Structure 1
């Protein structure tokens, strides 16, 4: 009987200790906003170029593992190989974000969803791209380092499908939590 009491006290101490650590390490649910800058890349059809890109985003973190994020990305101006008109593209997106915490401050995340893209002109060299706007999937991976409860630095690589073209975006972003 004495061994059972000692074992139950030890087990209770371990459970309470893990609960306290889990509460300390958990991100608070709430809204966040941010902005990023980086490079957009395209290597498809007649286009093989890169340009400076910008984004703004906002979301809601439900818990430390899941959130929803909406944003806007401007891919800049992508020049065609040879003659042709430069491609200017932008996108508004909505994604689900799954986060895996590695430590209290450092985590990785994956996101997937859909985006509404807009081109300044249709791409005539692609038979399927006759429109200058549409909706397609988007997805990406990133790493996040939290400086404080309110500020985090993120690096992210995302792909935005635009019918038969893949626009890639590599960015450094700053996130502010409320």
Structure 2
């Protein structure tokens, strides 16, 4: 993550003056330029773990490890943070790269109130997107985005009486979003953003394959 942030920052600082001086962008206007920012918020995991719970229970029963009624407690929502950098081509269009990380998620399987199996996941990804912007006035803008996210889901399972099992799933997913920006000054912008990322994870894992919704508030610096 640090390498990506550094690369985006260095690129923005070095390349921005070149664009401005040589007018490489034929669509440039008063809004054109590089920007950097970060966002914080929450993520709805879209039913993660639910689809795999019955299969997990059946597996334990087949092995004779657990019988009777089993309870499950699992993460439905978690925190999310992202760091992003991009180039605004003009008032109406921008391109952006970002790094996204969700908080740790988990599922605990219980028998008579005692946990006999624990699942923990780490979810992160980086990607690109195009952003369409509709200015309402000089301060307020609406926006819509579409792109791809290359994600990684790490899973660790600890079953009582068995060794820990670790696995990593990787893939790419479509992402779409809506949001709004408010320009506090020429250099500082705050935003509210919703984004849906389709099909993160693997159906064979305990986390499952899920559509994840993120809701973030952002702050960006415009060069």
**Length-normalised TM-score, structure 2:** 0.61
Q: Which residue of 2 aligns with 1:5?
A: none
Q: Is structure 2 residue 137 aligned with structure 1 residue 103?
A: yes
1:55 has 2:82 as partner = yes
1:165 is matched with which residue? 210
User: Would the aligned equivalents of 1:46 and 1:81 in 2 still touch at CA under 8 Å?
Assistant: no
1:89 is the counterpart of 2:123: yes
In the TM superposition, residue 28 of structure 1 has moved relative to its aligned partner by: 2.1
From 99, 104, 119, the counterpart of 1:77: 104
Q: Which residue of 2 aligns with 1:12?
A: none
Shift of residue 50, structure 1, vs aligned partner:
1.2
Change (3 A) 1:122 1:85: closer
Instruction: Find 1:120's aligned residue among 154, 176, 179.
Output: 154
Residues 12-39 of structure 1: per-residue CA shift (max 9 Å, x gap) = xxxxxxxxxxxxxx64211000001111
Q: Deviations over 1:80-137 (max 9, x none)?
A: 37454122101101000000111110011011000100011399xxxxxx96111110
Aligned to 2:33: 30
Structure 1, unaligned runs of 5 or more? 1-25, 124-129
Distance in 1, matches of 2:222 and 2:213, equals 26
- Count of equivalent residues: 147
CA contact (8 A) 2:154 2:168 kept: no
- State the alpha-carbon separation in 1 of the partners of residues 156 and 144 from structure 2: 30
Matched, 1:46 2:49: yes
Question: 2:143 and 2:84 mapped to 1: Cα distance?
Answer: 15
Unpaired runs of 5+ in structure 2?
Answer: 1-28, 51-74, 110-116, 158-166, 202-208
Q: What displacement does 1:174 show?
A: 0.2
What's the TM-score, normalizing by structure 1?
A: 0.76
Residue equivalent to 1:7: none
RMSD over aligned Cα atoms: 2.1
| Closer, same or farther: CA 95–62 of 1 in aligned 2, 3 Å | same
Deviations 1:45-68 (A, max 9, x none): 525511121110000000010010
Contact 1:42 1:78 (C-alpha < 8 Å) held by counterparts: no
